[in-house]
Structure 1
């Protein structure tokens, strides 16, 4: 009985030491490193996203050793992906990321969607988005802005992608600007 109690005590103590307390988990990885990590993840997922015609998404976290990792990759729909993140001891979420699937004239997929921005802002966590045209976006949750990190072709492109000369892609968007773009519809190509 004493051995079982000792084993139980060790398990409880280890769990208590692993559990985050009320103090904030302090992340140490700089935003530039998170961005580079997100870019690598998205670059490696683009072709699968195009061939399967679906969004792929996950959360980037920093572990207690200061290393970046990702949650399990989630395969979404053609134009959506539901990231479910469960807070784990010793892991702090630092950003979300997702692809925008295959090229389609039905979607304004070369910019983050209004839902993309609202979701990241609500989660108080930056987001990264890759597009069929190979653009790489950062959603700055604190500033409430989507910022183009690199333009068309900086990530792998969907072979079906057709650039639209009439569609002007800005280097950044606020929620209001994306809402206006969504309401007006993207350029006819």
Structure 2
């Protein structure tokens, strides 16, 4: 059985939802419940997935491993289709995610209120631009890649929710909002949220 180290509402939620979508049993382990978590992941971040002796510590690597291992259709197309999926996966994990991370850094790591507000506003503008890229991608499709929800869409839904923690204007296009609504109602995503809430209760 897989073991997934997680934090409520963190990017680990997308991995949990993906595992459920693939029909894979998983043991959830809250990061805060683990002493010396840095011994498991030196960056002190989630997600971390263990698959037997294999320990994976990066979200995109976890997604690719799971899709490859379980024969998911996202990696079964042409070389071009696989490359396109990987590109959007990296956009979510390595471009959009860090842009949100800057919000958390500014709110917690900057003592000067003026500096904090300047960074928050610039980060919000950057995020609006990145979501504009997603909006353009969705012009003729319901999901970022393929005809059904993928791990990319799950990631985007988790990240978008982080904007609720900040009193900032991060603009989301109409097509993007529809995508996020579809993900919020997707059974695997709903189950992941409910499982986190049940553990926290």
Normalised to the residue count of structure 2, the TM-score between the two structures is 0.25
User: Structure 1-normalised TM-score?
Assistant: 0.26
Higher Rg: 1
Q: RCO higher in 1 or 2 (8 Å CA, sep ≥ 6)?
A: 2
